[in-house]
Chains A and B, each alone.
Chain A
């Protein structure tokens, strides 16, 4: 997608910060390279994107986080990754780069105690540190410390061939491998002006919806499991497994890693693919309604999810929270709709939105999105155009491109600059979790410690996608 890009002076840069502060703009991303700060913003409510670039004198730039808190962690990462200093930032602690003591924010008062958790957690999950300050059972403050799975993807991208960069993009967050590969590929194609064959676009949407289905089933079951309701977990786990097996039958990989590549898809839909998918849809349509019923009518389960971990619509809007986190708190945004990309403009689907903002609402949005994804898969199977699924992408730079793609947990932003030799000069990938992690800190406040797993799972933020 080719959005307007401009080089701005200090006034215009700070003015953008003011407009973010006032809510006229939403922050899409903020990133840097030595000597230059970049920002992507979206107009409200038109969802029009634009890219701003600020030439940093002596690697300094005026802090956006000073005016707009969602930018703070991104600015801390900019210093760790590109050596840029944000002038006037309210928080100058390192973020992705560890080493040395780390001062946590204070929480003061009588009878408060701290509970440090992680980085190694009790379950099979990614590492991160949570510092709870509690008054008895009630959480007074949660502070996250992330960066444990920082792999240096930004640096590995710089100088990589497009093939290698695509492999890396597909491994930023394994649960969103299709989403990332798609965002990366669309950004590359936008940079190089490549026209992807129609069939490839439809197959990409098919893979993306399968990924959404698999993750939503996993999450719905896991949230219930954290309320000790294991029959939902077992039943949803079975459905998730069937989605992964169907994905494997269609595209030769259970998570569909490396199936989406610049220029199209690596493989066409396997011969038995359509039959597998129709069987899958049939299975889900038979089994899922009784699970929804079970969820809705089990008072002891609803007692745990309703009114727990409420995220206010105002915060969701301020942080431009994507995915089910935003849509469960009244933020009507779905990148498939606006800015939108093919083939979703030719497909019928609804974007469910509720206002409640609690764990129940985040589960409920996922339940409704399952139904939407099933309907989308049916439409894709019915209208899949014939033809090639890949065109060679001539990698002649210099060129820049960007993309915003709706992964299962929210909008994934990708920006790439390709050099004259066809190699990646710089690539920035922004996970939706960047704007969801801070909101988890807000949502848990005033809840009991024992409800944290439930709240955390209902957000299901990516550690790897965030830590890069």
Chain B
């Protein structure tokens, strides 16, 4: 059974779809922030540590989808890592809750320089529908310096891909 499936997958060729073009607006936003030295050091590869700082888990579902066979994030040299110690990028979702603030700060401080923070989703910009709650601190920028924001509720995998490709291009060109 396994061998039949594997054989078919081998013969059929990849299901992975062509990549979208990097988001121009995001590129412009980033270009100014990335210096030459870090570009040379990182090459075309970025390790991403995802941090849910209070999300409803909608953003996580779509970030997960980036790893499925149709989007296949790793072909771009972008991959998710298990520890902030291995990361170049923190991908942060959610309005930052009061209860997650310290954990988010500690994750940031555990990430070696150079590092970038990408805020994902409408909540991560300014709290979204949860803005104004006493249990939330606000958007990610209320706690960390944010380099790029990918909007959406939640952003689709292609929107996420565009944003991350923009980050990759500005880091490696």
Q: Please, what's the 1-or-0 string for B74-90, where 1 marks a CB less than 8 Å from any CB in chain A?
A: 00000010111000000
Contact of A151 with B6 in the complex, beta carbons under 8 Å: no
Please give, as numbers and ranges, the residues of chain A lying within 8 Å of B1 by CB-CB distance: 290, 293-294, 297-298
Please give, as numbers and ranges, the residues of chain B lying within 8 Å of A127 by CB-CB distance: 51-53, 100, 103
Please give, as numbers and ranges, the residues of chain B lying within 8 Å of A168 by CB-CB distance: 129-130
- Does B107 touch A at the CB level, under 8 Å? yes
- Does B114 touch A at the CB level, under 8 Å? no
Contact of A237 with B99 in the complex, beta carbons under 8 Å: no
Q: Which of A144-179 contact B (CB under 8 A)?
A: 147-153, 155-156, 164, 167-168, 171-175, 177
- Does B23 touch A at the CB level, under 8 Å? no
Contact of A125 with B52 in the complex, beta carbons under 8 Å: yes
Please give, as numbers and ranges, the residues of chain A lying within 8 Å of B15 by CB-CB distance: 238
Q: Please, what's the 1-or-0 string for A11-46, where 1 marks a CB less than 8 Å from any CB in chain B?
A: 000000000000000000000000000000000000
Q: Please, what's the 1-or-0 string for B114-144, where 1 marks a CB less than 8 Å from any CB in chain A?
A: 0000000000000011101111100000000
Please give, as numbers and ranges, the residues of chain A lying within 8 Å of B154 by CB-CB distance: 174, 255
Cα distance A139–B156 in the bound complex, in angstroms: 39
A-B contact pairs, 20 of them (CB 8 A): A119-B100, A120-B51, A124-B64, A125-B60, A149-B54, A149-B97, A150-B97, A152-B134, A156-B129, A167-B129, A168-B129, A173-B57, A174-B154, A177-B56, A234-B68, A255-B58, A255-B61, A290-B5, A298-B1, A464-B57
Contact of B52 with A149 in the complex, beta carbons under 8 Å: yes
Say whether, besides A124-B63, A171-B129, A462 and B2 are in contact (CB < 8 Å): no
Contact of B135 with A238 in the complex, beta carbons under 8 Å: no
Say whether, besides A294-B2, A294-B5, A151 and B130 are in contact (CB < 8 Å): yes
Q: Please, what's the 1-or-0 string for B1-31, where 1 marks a CB less than 8 Å from any CB in chain A?
A: 1101110000000010000000000000000
| Chain B interface, number of residues (Cβ within 8 angstroms) | 49
Contact of B133 with A155 in the complex, beta carbons under 8 Å: yes
Please give, as numbers and ranges, the residues of chain B lying within 8 Å of A164 by CB-CB distance: 129
- Does B62 touch A at the CB level, under 8 Å? yes
Please give, as numbers and ranges, the residues of chain B lying within 8 Å of A98 by CB-CB distance: 98-99
Cα distance A297–B64 in the bound complex, in angstroms: 27
Contact of A463 with B133 in the complex, beta carbons under 8 Å: no
Contact of A150 with B135 in the complex, beta carbons under 8 Å: yes
| Residue among B52, B57, B70, B80 with most chain A CB within 10 A | B57
Please give, as numbers and ranges, the residues of chain B lying within 8 Å of A462 by CB-CB distance: 57
Please tell me which one of the listed residues B2, B68, B135 contacts residue A240 in the complex, with CB atoms under 8 A apart: B68
Please give, as numbers and ranges, the residues of chain A lying within 8 Å of B97 by CB-CB distance: 148-151
Q: Which of B27-64 contact A (CB under 8 A)?
A: 50-64
- Does A257 touch B at the CB level, under 8 Å? yes
Say whether, besides A244-B65, A290-B1, A294-B5, A174 and B58 are in contact (CB < 8 Å): yes
What 5 A-B pairs have minimum CB-CB distances, sorted nearest first?
Answer: A174-B58, A152-B135, A122-B82, A152-B133, A237-B68
Q: Which of A223-251 contact B (CB under 8 A)?
A: 231, 234-235, 237-238, 240-241, 244
Nearest CB of A to B166, in Å:
20
Q: Which of A430-451 contact B (CB under 8 A)?
A: none
Q: Which residue of A lies closest to B6 (CB)?
A: A231
Please give, as numbers and ranges, the residues of chain A lying within 8 Å of B55 by CB-CB distance: 126, 149, 174, 464
Q: A152-B133, A171-B153 are known contacts; what are 20 more A-B pairs with Cβ within 8 Å?
A: A119-B103, A123-B82, A127-B103, A149-B97, A152-B136, A155-B135, A156-B129, A172-B56, A173-B57, A177-B58, A235-B5, A237-B65, A238-B70, A241-B65, A241-B70, A255-B61, A255-B154, A290-B1, A298-B1, A298-B2
Contact of A254 with B100 in the complex, beta carbons under 8 Å: no
Contact of A238 with B130 in the complex, beta carbons under 8 Å: no
Please give, as numbers and ranges, the residues of chain B lying within 8 Å of A297 by CB-CB distance: 1
Q: Please, what's the 1-or-0 string for A449-468, where 1 marks a CB less than 8 Å from any CB in chain B?
A: 00000000000001110000
